[in-house]
Structure 1
Amino acid sequence: MELLKDLELVEVAVEDGKAELTFLDEENMEIRKVNINKKKYDRDKNKWFEDSEQAEKAEKIAEDEFGKSFDDLEDAVGQRKDIYAYDKFNSLFEVQMIEKFDKDQEGLIFQTTISEITEDNVGIHIRFEYEGDKYESKMTYSDYLEAKKQFIVDPIKKQKQYEKFETKFKLPISEKEQLIGEQITVEVKVAFGKFSYAEIKPIPKKK
């Protein structure tokens, strides 16, 4: 990551819930594009979907960073911002990257600790580190509806995942914060010969 200071916003395009902001790096004579999205991206399904929480975040970024509504970001041309430049994208903020295991890592087993547990309208995300990088194991309980272009929670699946969570971690989801720092064993698996994922083994009962 490289922090590029005081770049001028020279162009903005807003379309279909996505704002593409183009900043000019005059020192290197390069452009840096930053995207602000009202939709959320699911890496596993390679799809964007409607998400009210993400839409609120996008509006807040537009207001807090540029003093404009999302739809009026074109009026922010001329403002200057510091840009975080990563290998594959640029951002207004420093980003916590979530890596994915490669298929050739199938069968890898290691021990680590839980660093974070979050929950959204897709499922439960249990995050941990391996060799200095951040990864996650997901317990999903939503289905993507093409007609609505968004993930919709399946309450029966959600309850089953809550039960699996409690069985695996020996605590209900409501007490997930107590699991931060808990040691876990993780195995890398591959589904259908192409989708790699991290499976967390059940935590042994404390004596």
Structure 2
Amino acid sequence: MTNGEKLEQLELVEVSTKDGKATLQFIDRERGEVRDVYFNKNIFDPEKGTFIPSEEKAAKVEEWSQEYFGLAFDDLHQAIGVKKDVYAYDTFNSLWESEQLAKFDKSEVGMLFSTTVTSVVDDGIGIKIKFGHEGKTYQSNMNYSEYLESTREWFKNPQKERKQRQRFEEKFGISVDEKEKLVGQEIMVEVKLAFNRNVYTEIKPLPKKK
């Protein structure tokens, strides 16, 4: 777990719901602290600047309610007294472990370092390559999809996908279908800046095999 802490067997002491959002309050008696976990059926609408109902998110929340408490969302108050492990992070708490990806800032632009690949995933939106640096997990993205604000959905761009797959093969000497072979490989990473504001990481091409 990155930048987080597992708090074992905290008691659920209060459940409050309002407008599709449930606040589950757990108590850590040893530390004298409370930890709030949120189950929210709403998603944030950047145009309206507020949260709005989402059928897809509501379905996920119902699944979480059943998976972790064996109850419907509207019956979560019946779970008071139950003990659960809570994963505490800097800005939120969760009932499951969440990997927190670190990001470089402008002061680190130009830095070049060697590391190893820890995972490679093609999630239908892009190719995500994770690696570690100084105890933190970072991710380099080769996206081939576009996010439409009007529908709040990702849509694949076939031409861009072909280009990214070709770029992946040229850079690493293997196809995306063979991506697992990249895990454990040593890579060189450079921290770069785009449009004078967006910091990103670029993985250098692997040396070509003779």
TM tier relative to shorter chain = 0.7 to 0.9
Structure 2 unmatched runs, 5+: 45-50
One of 5, 8, 11 as aligned partner of 2:15: 11
Q: Which residue of structure 2 aligns with residue 156 of structure 1?
A: 159
Q: Which residue of structure 2 aligns with residue 175 of structure 1?
A: 178
- Distance across 2 between alignment mates of 1:120 and 1:35: 26
Do the aligned partners of 1:143 and 1:154 also contact (CA within 8 Å) in 2? Answer: yes
Say how many residue pairs are matched: 198
- Distance across 2 between alignment mates of 1:34 and 1:61: 12
Please say if 1:79 is aligned against 2:76.
Answer: no
Q: Which residue of structure 2 aligns with residue 192 of structure 1?
A: 195
Q: Which aligned pairs between 1:1-207 and structure 2 lie closer than 5 A?
A: 1-9=4-12, 10-13=14-17, 20-36=23-39, 60-69=63-72, 73-207=76-210
Do the aligned partners of 2:15 and 2:22 also contact (CA within 8 Å) in 1? Answer: no
Counterpart residue identity of residue 138, structure 1: N
Do the aligned partners of 1:14 and 1:71 also contact (CA within 8 Å) in 2? Answer: no
Counterpart residue identity of residue 179, structure 2: K
Q: Aligned in 2, Cα 1:141/1:38: closer, same or farther, shift over 3 Å?
A: farther
SS of 2:150 mapped into structure 1: coil
SS of 2:161 mapped into structure 1: helix
Shift in Å, 1:63: 2.5
Counterpart residue identity of residue 123, structure 1: G
Shift in Å, 1:59: 5.0
- Distance across 1 between alignment mates of 2:209 and 2:154: 36
Deviations 1:144-179 (A, max 9, x none): 111111221112211211111111111110000011
- Distance across 2 between alignment mates of 1:163 and 1:71: 49
Deviations 1:118-169 (A, max 9, x none): 1223211100011111111000111111111122111221121111111111
- Distance across 2 between alignment mates of 1:77 and 1:112: 46
- Computing the radius of gyration over CA atoms, which structure comes out larger, 1 or 2? 2
Q: Which moved more, 1:78-87 or 1:147-156?
A: 78-87
Give the CA RMSD over aligned residues: 2.9
Shift in Å, 1:56: 7.4
Q: Aligned in 2, Cα 1:157/1:105: closer, same or farther, shift over 3 Å?
A: same
Q: Which moved more, 1:137-146 or 1:90-99?
A: 90-99
- Distance across 1 between alignment mates of 2:130 and 2:75: 36
Deviations 1:53-78 (A, max 9, x none): x8876554432221134565455344
Structure 1 unmatched runs, 5+: 42-47
- Distance across 1 between alignment mates of 2:174 and 2:60: 31
